Amino acid sequence: QVRLVMKAHSFIRENVPRVLSSVKDKSGTVHIPRISQYLYFLFAPTLIYRDNYPRSPTIRWGYVATKFAQVLGSLFYAYYIFVRLCIPQFRNSSQETFNLRGLVLCIFNSILPGVLILFLVFFAFLHCWLNAFAEMLRFADRMFYK
């Protein structure tokens, strides 16, 4: 949701001044982006709206398959972390009576798996998923923010 709000903000910020300046100048033509440009922007891995983006000539399907395989591998690794590190910890804590010592131990035993899951989510979504979609959309400007 945050990503969509940021994209909507960028789209409005780029297009409203154009429309207002054409109304202010009383010119007959108002340049409004096409729906296809907006849809491309919604799926492209960028938060900066432009009417046109640099496009690569071909799609490397091997690269796309590799990125989706990495997403799948990240999901399996996250499942493994939950099964081996998280579920036994919470299963044992649910059978004991509640006390502060048990709560603190449960929290500290969950920090490492939580950080690993956080890294996996960032890697799987921000690196693998978005790069796969960038390749399928032929989005060539991958170093835009550098």
Pair 95, 33 in one domain: no
Q: Do 38 and 64 belong to one domain? A: no
On whether both 107 and 48 belong to a single domain, the answer is no
61 and 44 in one domain? no
**Cα–Cα nearest to 35, from 60, 58, 11:** 11
Would you say residue 127 has pLDDT above 80? yes
35-47 residues labelled b (16+ CB within 10 A) or e (exposed): eebeebbeebbbe
Average of per-residue pLDDT across 128-140? 90
- Which tens digit of pLDDT belongs to each residue from 91-125? 766 677 888 887 888 888 889 999 999 999 999 99
Taking all residues of the chain, what is their mean pLDDT, rounded to a whole number?
87
Q: Return the pLDDT at 143.
A: 67
Q: What's the residue count for the chain?
A: 146
Domain span at residue 3 reads 1-53
**46 shares its domain with 109:** no
